[in-house]
Amino acid sequence: MGIYLASCLLMLKLAVALGSIANVSNEACIDGVDGPLRVNAYQDSCPDVEPIIFSWVQKAVSQDSRMAASLLRLHFHDCFVNGCDASVLLDDTADFIGEKTAAPNLNSLRGFDVIDAIKSDLESFCPETISCADILAVAARDSVILSGGPSWEVQTGRRDSLSASKGAANNNIPGPNSNVATLLASFQNVGLSLQDMVALSGAHTMGKARCSTFMSRLQSSSSSNSNDVEMDERFLSSLQQLCSQADANQTLARLDLVTPSTFDNQYFVNLISKEGLLASDQALVDDDGTRQIVESYVEDPFTFFEDFRRSMLRMGSIQVLTGKDGEIRRNCRSVN
């Protein structure tokens, strides 16, 4: 086990080094905004935390490549609802309603079992030390690395919430049919910028979506005499065929048909080609401001990687609980 963890640590260090990531100071400073998170917060209390998390994510992704997108999405859905506090992981109880049954999450979010396995392992090594919120942040980074994307040093020190909000989950997480104005309002509501919005949308270079999340686009095109001006004709036809089955609401379509399991800039290439799966994706080329950013990512994937890395750090710092706020859960599904 020790040799395996050492190899995982080596892989992480190489990923960061090869990514040419600038060193981050011990006190977090993201785009000039000081914060309470820091790199290597567990260096003394649990030095093997990152290789342990990496080993579990590596195992999960090797068994199911889609899990990389799922773990990345868990972190996103957590941070957009009252901050990055692992509230998304809390199960419903007799007197408590969590966020898992909110419309954007129900029958959609996955990867909870992977987080459970990571937490259980960490509790055996470092009891009541590593927060579930930090596990989500590190697992998201590792999912990107293992899919060929950029690396960054995750800033840690988050604590876990004592509550959750189904209402906030329903209201704060952008929907698949959102236009640019709605998307931007959701991102600005949590302190993120237009640039962050486009960069983080690039996470849709991996993963899948149910036909139900984009069916309205297909039905609109089918009921008219002309093709959907926002969708390539052959792409539209292939989706209509895929989603015409009896169980269409359960049928999954790849967000990126070309490199579905690789973290790259193909998502933005697809948008220019009118092959964005979700309306909220394709909308990014209909607005002049967002289209310019999309085109820059098509031309230079390294610019996308750098912006995505920076935006992940910014997102990961949203309304974090630190110090004596919140708690370190022993089980990510319930408060202590």
Instruction: Report which residue type is found at 59.
Output: K
Q: What is the mean pLDDT of the chain?
A: 90
Alpha carbon of residue 237 to chain centroid: 29
Distance CA 225, CA 323 (A): 60
Catalytic residues: 77
User: Phi and psi of 207, rounded to 5°?
Assistant: 95, -175
Q: Which tens digit of pLDDT belongs to each residue from 129-143? A: 999 999 999 999 999
pLDDT tens per residue across span 79-90: 999 999 999 999
pLDDT attached to residue 230: 72
Distance of CA 202 to the CA centre of its chain: 10
Q: Are 156 and 138 in contact (CB under 8 A)?
A: yes
Tell me the pTM: 0.90
CA contacts within 13 A on the Cβ side of 314:
22
Tokens 């060193």 locate to: 23
Helix residue ranges, H only, 80-146: 112-125, 132-146
With cut-offs at 50, 70 and 90, classify the pLDDT of residue 27. very low
Cα distance between residue 265 and residue 303, in whole Å: 10
Up-side HSE of residue 56: CA atoms within 13 Å toward CB?
23
Read off the tokens for 168: 């906030």
CA distance 259 to 266: 7
Q: Are 213 and 281 in contact (CB under 8 A)?
A: no
Q: Which of 13-22, 103-112, 248-257, 280-289 has the lowest mean pLDDT?
A: 13-22
